[in-house]
Chain A
Amino acid sequence: MAAAAARGCGGVWRRAWQRGAGGPAPRGQRALACNVRAGAVPAGKSGLAPWVPVVGLEIHAQISSNSKLFSGSQVQFAAPPNSLVSFFDASLPGTLPVLNRRCVEAAVMTGLALNCSINKKSLFDRKHYFYADLPAGYQITQQRVPIAVNGSLSYSLCIDNKMSQMVTKTVRIKQIQLEQDSGKSLHDDTRSQTLVDLNRAGVGLMEVVMEPDMCCGEEAAAAVRELQLILQTLGSSQAVMAEGQLRVDANVSVHHPGEPYGVRTEVKNINSIRFLAKAVDYEIQRQIEELESGRTILNETRTFDSKLGCTVPMRDKEEKQDYRFMPEPNLPPLILYDAKSLPANMNHQQVVNIDWIHERLPDLPSVKRAKLVEQYGILPEHSFTLLNEDGLTEFFEDVIKQTQMKPKKVIGWILKDLLSYLKQYSLTVKESPVSSFLLADLLNHLEKKEISSTAAKQVFAELWKGEGKTPLEIIKEKKLQLIQDQKDLEQICQAVIDGQENEVMAIKAGNRKVLNKLIGLVQRETRGRSNPVLVKQLLEKKLSE
């Protein structure tokens, strides 16, 4: 029961640690051990074969479209309850589904971007279950023949925490299917009633099924992040997890190498990528502990409790469901065309042409990254950071267009200064008070050696306040220009030398390192307005006199 108590949430990690040598290795360590390294988790003290975690994902991405999958009602987040409900969405008797072309195109686009083969003929099915937010009593989905199959997704992740060593992995995409979203139920326990909002009912979803090719939370998180970027690049989904446009369910099991896969659990209710990594790692650890304590894993659905950082069994899904699948009789097979099969007399507006969509696919994140590395000579990991922040690549490129500074130097300003400020103030790139124009302007002053980089950082801090001043105004106001007059600088250097007899002695005795201290003193004296290279030259000259 000790394990159960420990899992009972609330300080789980600490208690696991406390169990110490007697029990299995602490969770935290195990989770780290699993990271990336081929996935094998060493067994506990038992000394048996290591555990291999297996992780597969089912991802529901809400299609970004004006109207729903089978009806004309609008799609919009956070609209007043039940304000976006057509007769069909409410399942009024006699209403029929009419497929939204835009949703089909979004799915084809996504399928192509994930290297899938697109089925030229796909079918719709009904999946039956009773639930208050499923008005028709069934969901229209693609169970038998989905729109896209057999794809793959490459994603990269870093092996250590310092973003310096990246590995690229591939997960197979089993299929992408089109289906309807359900409505939302709100349970009011105090008044024991359930309120139903059908705004979401019938919104188009793409279900992306990833094969169990991953082995830890980090990998799952990286794969989902890459998928998210792809969807956003395509515009096929806004893929904002916090708004439920991207929902991830993880299938997790563990087994010993060479043995068949273990019994798997499904973890639901994961609403951020960070939580995905946590939930998967927690579940792997839990299963290993259960098995090592001689218990078995139940094939069950669990939910991730983000507050407690653990997974708990879901109560309402206990009964085995038989979904009684049936072909949807109101929708003819979905036929897609390519350049070859396109009938000549067909109205262009009426058909979906795979080749036409293929030709118009935008650059995918991987291509964008490669281009950035090639074009600007930046490090691959920097290209990841640029793409991971929405709008950062554009910002970076805008700065480059407006400055003479080399991209390799600019990237430092973007990643170190701009990004850390953004993070500190929890702002998005778009919300940055320093525009690409201002940053470029500032960097130009730096590049022209009008200010030192120390001074430039001061200017940046001032610009961040967003008071509408130009870099030049700030430089003037704060008197941050480099001292251009060499005589002035020579005087200051002389003064420093005169005041530091011990150091001068040390340098003359051969300890060159002390020279840096003198440079620093000159910098302090000039409040960063001196060019350190020049100062070094001047000091060396004077000391050798």
Chain B
Amino acid sequence: QRCLSLIKSTKFLNAYITVAEETALKQAEESEKRYRRGQPLGVLDGIPIAVKDNFNTAGIETTCASNMLKGYISPYNATVVQKLLDQGAVLLGKTNLDEFAMGSGSTDGVFGPVRNPWSYSRQYKEKSVPKSHSEDKDSNWVITGGSSGGSAAAVSSFTCFAALGSDTGGSTRNPAAHCGVVGLKPTYGLISRHGLIPLVNSMDVPGILTRCVDDAAVVLGSLAGHDPKDSTTIQDNFKLFELPNLTDVSKLSIGIPKEYHAPGLSSEILALWSKAADLFKNAGAKVIEVSLPHTRYSIVCYHVLCTAEVASNMARFDGLEYGHRSDMNKSTESMYAATRREGFNAVVRGRILSGNYFLLKQNYENYFIKAQKVRRLIANDFVKVFGSGVDILLTPTTLSDAVPYTEFIKEDNRTRSAQDDILTQAANMAGLPAINVPTALSERGLPVGLQFIGRSFQEKQLLTVAKWFEKQVKFPTIQLEEVKRHDHGVFQHQKSGNLKQISKP
């Protein structure tokens, strides 16, 4: 209930597309009863969770922030949603995103951009010097990053304890970095994609956004494992783990891939990155510079593969079985064309066009096949580095802190995505687990995060290291003054954000 009222008071953030008030209250009630009977369903029972609006939720609208699916109510739950509900989690609502998860700002959805909660924090207001147009306070708000910006904002603004995002090229880690939360992209195949409306099937993974690493581990534990409905999930049963409190990092070998010193990397983040490396070194870990030589080709190939699959995946939206259908009825073909023109925004249409171009018979070899080959090289780079004894890679998550919306929209979606995914998409190309850990505040008082990339299916090791790091950096809590006025008391309760420490309110 507190979360629901908090959602209302933070409505201006535009984090949610749909708030499932009624069903959430009902679920909370049921959970309450279970607790009274002393039979909770598990650690997640009664825990309020938000889900990105590209996961199917039975009975609750699933829009992908697109006209194409506005009003679409799915008849089934995505496997991850079902797993959460089965464990008693309370589904608060569906969070905002870029249309069909195509973007890195959460600015290109049909429901409008998501505002970064940190725009309204005391930290940001104190540090960002109001410029000439200071009277226009509202124009200073910064973006959340994307495409899971709604989920990141929801977690960051305390409206839920955890949120599901999706991560295809960085869509969970990028907004997590900008919103100062933990964003975990698990290994491809560890969590079922069934019910996640795909962007790129071969790279998509459900992402987990929480306020601390321990929470991410708990949510991961409840979602991971084989799903007969997703043939790409691993067959072996996932072993639940609890994260140990690492005290000794001396046996660890941390790799610093030099190629991640990418053009455009802000000096602030560069400094933070080397500070983090020093942190490990000083604690006794082995820190070595490593090379992933094919990294620089990664983003280009990512775009070829991404758009090709987008072109294919979007083919089903033809207005026949579901979703938007144009009134145009001259012929089936003209209906298709009008439906798709009206249903998709320019970004989606652009990616469909380029994807189809890459898949044309005369281009297939030169683009798609080549990109796939390079993808293999990129994956092999990681295999080599991990084979050489490196346990975890440490990199920045983003090139800089979040930029104001007015700044962000000066560049088109394609340019932005190419810049913003540059440090994150390689992990998707290789299918590796990666996590953003909020590290510090920038000079402007905005969160900055660093990324850890781990070995395939070695989430436990990755999260353990991330947890140790999280403990060292002591990332500050967001001071949401405006909201605090409305909801006094909630914050004391939720500050720690640790699921296991929070009993039912």
Contacts and interface: CB of A to CB of B under 8 A. Distances in A.
Interface string B54-77: 011000001010000100001110
Contact of B360 (A97, A136, A324): A324
Interface stretch (A107-115, A153-161, A329-337, A533-541): A329-337
A295 to B, nearest CB: 29
A87 B312 contact: no
A85 to B, nearest CB: 9
B33 to A, nearest CB: 31
A145 B36 CA distance: 58
B315 A136 contact: yes
B332 A194 contact: yes
A90 B321 contact: yes
B309 A326 contact: yes
B202 A325 contact: no
A94 interface: yes
Contacts of B314: 137
A95 B194 contact: yes
B312 A92 contact: no
A392 B1 CA distance: 75
B190 to A, nearest CB: 15
Interface stretch (B3-11, B152-160, B208-216, B226-234): B226-234
Contacts of B195: 94-95
B356 interface: yes
Nearest to B361: A322
Contact of B201 (A136, A137, A330): A330
Interface in B392-412: none
A93 interface: yes
B45 interface: no
Contacts of B321: 90-92, 135
Contacts of A136: 315-316
A94 B56 contact: yes
Nearest to B315: A137
B178 interface: no
B308 A96 contact: no
Interface stretch (A125-133, A225-233, A495-503): A125-133
B230 A96 contact: yes
Contacts of B196: 94
B318 A130 contact: yes
A25 interface: no
Contacts of A137: 312, 314-316, 318
Contacts of B202: 329
B333 interface: yes
B238 interface: no
Interface string A380-415: 000000000000000000000000000000000000
B201 A135 contact: no
Nearest to A89: B321
A94 B356 CA distance: 21
A326 B312 CA distance: 8
A98 interface: yes
Contacts of A492: none
A99 B308 contact: no
Contacts of B231: 96-99, 330-332
Given A92-B321, A98-B231, A135 B316 contact: yes
Interface string A63-97: 00000000000000000000000010011111111
A92 B74 contact: yes
B194 A93 contact: no
Given A94-B194, A325-B364, A329-B202, A128 B315 contact: yes
A138 interface: yes
B322 interface: yes
Interface residues of A, number: 29
A496 B193 CA distance: 95
Contacts of A326: 308-309, 312, 359, 368
Interface string A307-334: 0000000000000001011100111100
Contacts of B318: 130, 135, 137
A342 interface: no
Given A326-B308, A329-B201, A96 B194 contact: yes
Most buried by B among A94, A135, A136, A194: A94
A379 interface: no
Interface string B325-356: 00000001100100000000000000000001
B198 interface: yes
Contacts of A507: none
A131 to B, nearest CB: 8
Interface in B169-209: 193-198, 200-202
B151 to A, nearest CB: 17
Given A87-B76, A92-B75, A96-B231, A128 B360 contact: no
Contacts of A263: none
A96 B312 contact: no
B287 interface: no
Nearest to A194: B332
Contacts of A95: 194-195
B315 A94 contact: no
Nearest to B56: A94
Contacts of B490: none
A92 B193 CA distance: 14
Most buried by B among A96, A126, A128, A325: A96
A326 B357 CA distance: 12
Contacts of A93: 56, 62, 64, 69, 74, 197-198, 316-317, 322
B435 interface: no
A196 interface: yes
Contacts of A99: 231
A326 B231 CA distance: 18
A389 B205 CA distance: 55
A131 B135 CA distance: 56
A94 B332 contact: no
A130 B339 CA distance: 13
A137 B315 CA distance: 5
Nearest to A129: B315
Contacts of A135: 316, 318, 320-321
B230 A128 contact: no
B311 interface: yes
A135 B323 CA distance: 13
A322 B332 CA distance: 19
Interface string A321-358: 01011100111100000000000000000000000000
10 closest A-B pairs by beta carbon, nearest first, are A137-B315, A324-B359, A329-B201, A329-B202, A93-B197, A91-B316, A94-B195, A136-B316, A94-B56, A94-B197
Given A93-B197, A130-B318, A194-B332, 13 more contacts: A90-B321, A93-B62, A93-B74, A93-B316, A99-B231, A126-B312, A135-B316, A135-B321, A137-B312, A137-B315, A324-B360, A325-B364, A331-B232
Interface of A: 87, 90-99, 126, 128, 130, 132, 135-138, 194, 196, 322, 324-326, 329-332
28 contacts: A90-B322, A91-B321, A92-B74, A92-B321, A93-B56, A93-B197, A93-B316, A93-B317, A93-B322, A94-B55, A94-B74, A94-B194, A94-B195, A94-B196, A94-B198, A95-B194, A97-B231, A98-B228, A126-B312, A128-B312, A128-B359, A130-B333, A138-B312, A324-B356, A324-B364, A326-B359, A329-B201, A330-B232
